[in-house]
Amino acid sequence: MRLKNEVAIITGAASGIGQAVSAQMAKEGAKIVLVDLNSCEKTIDLLGDAEYLECLGDIRDPEFVKAVVNRTIEKFEEIHILVNNAGTASRLDLEDMTLEMWDRDLDTNLKAAFLFTQAVVYPYMKEAEYGRIINISSVSGINGGVVSGDEKNGRSGPAYAASKGGIIALTKWVAKELGKYNITCNSVAPGATTTAITAGVAYDTSNQVIDRMGEPNDIANAVLYFATKEAGYTTSQVLKVDGGISIG
């Protein structure tokens, strides 16, 4: 049990990648803090005997983020792992992109990751001189978006790509800043993965080395490595889990 008695905060835990990460970390002995706007009942059913805390609210709200961290400390006394996973993805192209959609994606995908990172590090991870921060980015933040079958709005939009590119930059900055406290910060960049965000979108995976959609557990396996003590000499990395679409 590689995460025995460690405390992990996971955003977007109600479904998809967040649900898979929560279940895998629970199997490895972690105590799980489930954060989402929606009920995490289905995820709770997958946690077995693991201790957990459910926190429902808007991760874009600084007061909610502080409340999650405070409740975590009150219940578990420590925070070892943070997984910034929750996200939204508009598919409007540049011409049709609205300021509302731009703000939604940037606030959910990037601002919330900043808020949670700041809140768990100062003072908790810093004082403990230990921490594992894993940010879910996307190959869209590297290559500008995975093309799907919809000619007009097939790619995730510019707001999503910009937010995920920002997550990668934030990951590198935080890794440089916090390494001296034995806190690592890494990112996992999924390709087309079967989640709520990709529901109803047809992807042609025939141009991938591995000709299939990714599954949430594919991403969770990578997250789990970065969360372990064994990954203590690995930081500032962006691990593409994308079936080989980014090879070129």
Residue 104 has pLDDT above 90, yes or no: yes
Q: Are strands 238-241 and 81-84 parallel, antiparallel or unpaired?
A: unpaired
Domains in the chain: boundaries? 7-241
Report pTM: 0.94
Average pLDDT over residues 137-153: 73
Asked about 160 being catalytic, the answer comes back as yes
228 CB-side CA count, 13 A:
14
Query: Do the beta carbons of residue 9 and residue 82 sit within 8 Å?
Result: yes
The structure tokens listed for 40 are 């995490």
Burial of residue 8, with CB atoms counted within 10 A of its CB: 0-12 exposed, 13-18 middle, 19 or more buried: buried
Residues 213-239, mean pLDDT to the nearest whole number: 96
Is the per-residue pLDDT at 183 higher than 90?
yes
The pLDDT value recorded for residue 208 is 84
- Please tell me which residue, 151 or 16, carries the higher pLDDT value: 16
Does position 152 have pLDDT exceeding 70, yes or no? no
Catalytic residue among 160, 203, 225, 233: 160
In CATH, the architecture of 7-241 is 3-Layer(aba) Sandwich (3.40)
